[in-house]
Amino acid sequence: MDELTIKQDEELFDLETLITEGVEARVPILLEFPNGKKAEALIRPISTGEFQTIYTRDASNLLVNVLEVGLMNKAGEPLQRSLIEAMPLGLPVKITQQIFEISGIETNAEDAEGLKDELELFP
């Protein structure tokens, strides 16, 4: 059976509503820093339009750009770019993976590890 075939008992939703709700979604996450301390934060999906401006084919900026749009403190306020840039490198990689996941962008551990390796080459 084709995946796109609609089953009789499937509930269908209004496309515009799902798109709007997706952009407005806030997902709580727990961040664990390398020193073992933990913090709460919120992430949100990134829209197609936002990704067009975020993705510049420059790996060193991709993480910061994604986090600038998709990561918020537990009150729902965006973090300053300087705070994002001050994070230990492994943490932004993990958070970006989670943002990609809720945005429908499939990644795997190999991709994340490769991105982390590339970023370690930048000063």
Contact (CB, 8 A) for 69 and 54: yes
**β-sheet bridge partners, residue 43:** 27, 71
Q: What's the pLDDT band for 48 if we cut at 50, 70, 90?
A: confident
DSSP of 87-122, one letter per residue? S-THHHHHHHHHHHHHTT----HHHHHHHHHHHTT-
What is the spatial distance between Cα 56 and Cα 40, in angstroms, rounded to a whole number?
Answer: 29
Q: Which has more pLDDT, 23 or 93?
A: 93
Task: Please give the pLDDT value at position 113.
Answer: 60
Residues with Cβ within 8 Å of residue 110, at least 6 apart in sequence: none
The full set of domain ranges for the chain reads: 25-119
Mean confidence (pLDDT) of the chain:
79
Closest CA to 60 of 98, 104, 96, 34: 96
Please state the pTM of the whole predicted model: 0.71
- Give the largest Cα separation in the chain, rounded: 56
Rounded to an integer, the average pLDDT of 18-27 is 70
Task: Please give the pLDDT value at position 1.
Answer: 44
The architecture (CATH level 2) of 25-119 comes to 2-Layer Sandwich (3.30)
Percent of the chain with pLDDT over 70: 66
